[in-house]
Chains A and B, each alone.
Chain A
């Protein structure tokens, strides 16, 4: 699934990375606990989270995550966006809650990581 498709399905806005919308995402993982995220390393993944701080981007960087989706209309600040730009990680945000966002993506064929 492309990041563009994720954006459309979640009615999400993009805050960084519009040039990467055609990139493919193979798996997704959702959590507000970053160590839970760090336990699962799968290529070309997206992270769905309600946590909004720079460590979300750091965690994504370590895992080579290509796209972060912030739920419940959490809009990351400029520090977070600057770090995402430096690491070339796409940032989306959606008004959906975590459960709904996951459900929409899963029912459209995006699977969970290993």
Chain B
């Protein structure tokens, strides 16, 4: 069986200034593994957008990163409010983020579209009132 390298992160939901630390950690790990900069950037941006979303919308959550010889898989799971209309949420510019989030530089409605743009596969599994799990792959 193929060896899988796994990293787990718990994302705190109450500290916007620390949002992105998990993505930064993954970026450093991938750099040390010697992956090409384009792949690293795609993983970093997609995970960072997801991490920010968790802090903004879901009071945090968990991120699992699995690295195999074929792909890097990111699984972002939260127990937040869920996404009522996923198709709408995928539209460029659509956002439900409150005004204070916009003043912090996010909530432009580009997060999910960016995550899709930089990954080769993305699936959103969400139930209103229960939570959201986003799975993203970047092929190697």
Contacts and interface: CB of A to CB of B under 8 A. Distances in A.
B44 A62 contact: yes
Secondary structure dominating the interface of A:
helix
Contact of B108 (A36, A54, A58, A61): A36
Contacts of A58: 19-20, 23-24, 48
A64 B41 contact: yes
Secondary structure dominating the interface of B:
helix
A37 B128 CA distance: 30
Place the interface of chain B in its size category.
20 to 34
B110 A35 contact: yes
Interface in B93-140: 102, 104-111, 113-114, 117-118
Interface of A: 32-36, 38-39, 41, 43, 51, 53-56, 58-59, 61-64, 79
6 contacts: A34-B108, A55-B106, A56-B105, A61-B44, A62-B20, A62-B44
